[in-house]
Amino acid sequence: MPCLESMMEPVSASPGTSPAAGTETEESSSSLRRETVTAPPILQGMGWFFSPLWSPRSKTRRKKFGDFMKSDQVEAWLDDHSDFTRAYFLRRASAVSGPQTEMSPHLARFPRSSSDHSDLITKAHPRRTSSPLSSHMNISSLMDRLKPLAPNLSAPEWMDRSASPDVLSCHSTCSPRSSRHSFSPCRPLSPICICSHDSPHFSQPPCPSAAKSAACGQGECCPWMMELLRGGLSWMGSVKDLCQGAVLHAGELLAAEGSSLCLVRKDCSGRNTLEEVIAPTAMGCSSEDNLCSHAHLELVKGIMGCVLATGSPMNLRDVSEDPRFDLDDDQSSKIRTVLSVPIKNHRGEVVGVVIMINKRNVYDGSVSVFTSMDEKILSNHMDVLGMVLDNVQLYESSRQEAKRSQALIEMAQVLSKEHHSFEVLLSKMAAPIMPFTHAQYCTIFIPCEQSSVAEAKVSFSRVIHLECEELGSACQIYRRERDIRDIDPSYALRTLVAMETLNMSQSPEESMKSLICCPVRNERSEDVIAVCQLMNKRSRDSDEMEAFNRYDERLLEDLAVYCGLALQYAQAVQITEERRASIEVTQEVLAYHITAAEQEIQALQETTIPSAESLLILDFHFSGFGLPEDLTTQAAIRMFLDLNLVQDFNIDYKSLCQWVLTVRRGYRNNVPYHNWNHALSTAQSMFAMLKATDQLQTIFSRLEILALMIATLNHDLDHRGVSNSYIERSHQPLAQLYGHSSLENHHYNLCIFILNNTGSQILSGLSIDDHRTALHLIKRAILATDLTVYMERRKEFFSLSRKSKVSWRSEKQRDILRSMLMTASDLSAITKPWPEQKRIANLVAMEFFAQGDKEREEFKIKPIDIMNRENSTRLPYMQVEYIDDICYPLYKAVSRLFDTCSPLLYGCKKNRENWLHLAKDTKEENSENSSCVTLETHKNNEEETQKEE
């Protein structure tokens, strides 16, 4: 064998090389010499790799040879390796006259595994032009020569184990998810080299200098390995061709009569099984010859199964004498000696098994036994084959992942777009995977809604059928209109019932091996809502049908996930469209019933509107109770007329009449307090403040005044007689729709609905910008009537009221002023004359107590005091507290800023006194203490008011 020393040449030319050749060598490598000062020796050939002494299974890996070893250690090593010693001296005796080489002081280490495959055979520049590897033996060339095989390979089923995410995530530098080498599905992985100087696993034993000899019978370099490195992978069309070349070469070296090779794959249960790649065949014969009877095949499978189970070689000198195998006379006469070794990858995992049968004696042709050297030679060849297969597998895995990523991106893009047809959506989703899987047909079965899987009464209502037609390098996808009766649904029905992926490649039915089905599940209910089926996987090299592999299963399962999303999306869109149509119908019905009759509109339009003085709407003590219904609408019209809003904004008078009547119909008559009368009273209070205070009309723009008047009339539209807290606690749709200030948002939206209703569009004369601004002002004003908003903002308003002079040019300050005036108008019932105030207080208490009764019944809780009917006798005290906490501070601040609004403050104080006197007449316990407290507060308020006056 050629020792390592013979492959590590000095810089000078070989003794047998001519000066001219040496000159050429120096010239060809001169550029390389300029880059390095000293060049370490380079491995000249690959013959060392197939030497029996270089074996991953050799026990000598535990020691380093040559590091301070003495003569007794050398003798001990030679005694332990008698085969090497005998071969060495025979070669030395036959090569006495041959050129000798010096032993290199540098011994490379060749580990079994590739812990760092970024460092390949050597980093030195090549020096010998006569070397078979020459200057091409570098890292990039090795990677480039191993990669070309992958694009032309058909990924067999045995790749599934390593291509699966479970195996790809193992802690290895060759793993796509390794921490040292990031994995990109769009970039092929680097091939693995089993030679790494950094691996500490074992050291190469010393190789005495020897002449060039036949490590594998073909000279210094193995032709099979050199063919792989020189580009032989590029013309090998499949993994089978690669394996066949390795088996034929190894069979020739071992003079075997027959051989076979199987690769490992995992079945559905995760168990390792052998898949035959090269059937037991006589060497040099294309057919199975007489070696492959059924009995012989079973014997070969049994031996290879033992090797797979143990992971160790098996050398049988006489098969008939092995008790593990029961042979008849015919078997023992045909198969006598067997050598079988496992094919392992760089991680030591068994990826295949090879077997050699009947070693023939080269002299007389008789059957002889396989020697230990034969076992080592075969093992070394299979190590290289395992490394190459592992690289092919990883490269193919990366290509498959790149295709899968591309298909997923295309399906996601299709899903993100809007499609009006469900069939078109699914067709576009299925189209990307058909070219990748080479499937001719793709069918999506949609089951009937009434189908019950539990009762085994399943059927399909419709199918979506796609056909793929190859046009040169491109593929054209067609969607065919097919009836459910024209397509065999039996396999889809099996998938629907089993709810698992069905791959017919594992079925004994030869005619349907090229079919795969996958269920489409609803992510929420886990129900099967469809079945995807691929048929007729075409071979890339011929028109024959192939079985779908694990990559095809993954793509189909990905399609199933996206189809499930598409189905849910289509269902959601359908439900949304139905609900939108339902809302439109509801709005149409609401618009019809809420809009006043034409006769009523015409009557109001033709009626002469009384003056503001006759209607008493300029008075802060105006009361809408007892006012005829016709006069209430006329009073609202009069407010818009006297503020010149009709003239300034070109409001159609008929539209104004219809709008007022529609707003009145928008309030519920069965609500005691928050009804149309309250809305009119709120609008009248705002109107009275605007008319009484010229400063307010100067501060606000005309558009702001219009927005305030619209907001006051609409601020409690469709009020239900309950508070926001009750709506939120009872989880009513209003709470789910708005979240906070539910009632106020509902009032605003209904206000917009009426403003957009045909015939009630009083804002149609505004420009686009003014219309947008008006709606914003209306919304802010209506939301300000929520007492929670008032409590949050009143501190800032009270601070403004204490200033000697306030500039209202700031939009923020005007927004606060509008909000406070809306609250002042909304609470103005507390400023009305005592009979009116007492009546309104009882109506409010009626609403509150009704809500408290609902809370007690529905939520089983005790209502708060103001809503607890048991506290009805404490109404006067609660009114005094209400005035002191909410009303009095607000009217005091408004009167301080605008003294013309002081009647509101005086009315509030007067009603507080009346409630306080009423509280003294009650017979409730502790009334005296409560009176003392409230009287003291009242005295302080009076003293403060007198000081201000």
Assign 518 to helix, strand or coil. strand
Q: Please tell me the distance from the alpha carbon of residue 25 to that of residue 33, in angstroms, as a whole number.
A: 11
Q: Give the DSSP letter of residue 887.
A: I
Alpha helices by DSSP H, 277-371: 294-310, 329-334
Tell me how long the chain is: 949
600-618 CB burial, b ≥16 within 10 A, e <16 = bbeebeeeebeebeebebb
Q: Please tell me the distance from the alpha carbon of residue 366 to that of residue 344, in angstroms, as a whole number.
A: 32
Q: Please tell me the distance from the alpha carbon of residue 197 to that of residue 199, in angstroms, as a whole number.
A: 6
CB atoms closer than 10 angstroms to residue 173: 18
* Active-site residue, selected from the candidate residues 674, 678, 719, 938: 674
| Tokens encoding 836 | 């009116």
Question: Per DSSP, what are the bridge partners of residue 259?
Answer: 281, 356
Q: Please tell me the distance from the alpha carbon of residue 152 to that of residue 488, in angstroms, as a whole number.
A: 34
Assign 546 to helix, strand or coil. strand
CA distances from residue 197 to 61, 114, 116, 207 in whole angstroms, order as listed: 14, 10, 9, 17
CA-based radius of gyration for the chain: 48
Q: Please tell me the distance from the alpha carbon of residue 882 to that of residue 896, in angstroms, as a whole number.
A: 21
CB atoms closer than 10 angstroms to residue 187: 11
| Tokens encoding 37 | 């000062």
Q: How far apart are the first and last CA of the chain?
A: 122
Q: Please tell me the distance from the alpha carbon of residue 386 to that of residue 351, in angstroms, as a whole number.
A: 7
Q: What is the 3-state secondary structure (H, E, C) of 157-170?
A: HHHHHHHCHHHHCC
Contacts 24+ apart (CB under 8 A), 27-32: 28/129, 28/135, 29/125, 29/126, 29/127, 29/129, 29/135, 32/125, 32/126, 32/127, 32/135
**Nearest CA among 605, 711, 611, 603 for reference residue 663:** 711
10 Å CB burial of residue 323 (0-12, 13-18, 19+) is: exposed
Contact 104, 204 (CB under 8 A): no
Q: Please tell me the distance from the alpha carbon of residue 199 to that of residue 111, in angstroms, as a whole number.
A: 6
Residue 171 annotated to the active site: no
Q: Please tell me the distance from the alpha carbon of residue 803 to that of residue 261, in angstroms, as a whole number.
A: 99
Q: Please tell me the distance from the alpha carbon of residue 73 to that of residue 80, in angstroms, as a whole number.
A: 11
Contact 496, 461 (CB under 8 A): no
Q: Please tell me the distance from the alpha carbon of residue 833 to that of residue 840, in angstroms, as a whole number.
A: 11
CB atoms closer than 10 angstroms to residue 645: 19
- Helices 422-430 and 372-416, axial angle in degrees (round to 10): 150
Task: Just list the catalytic residues.
Answer: 674
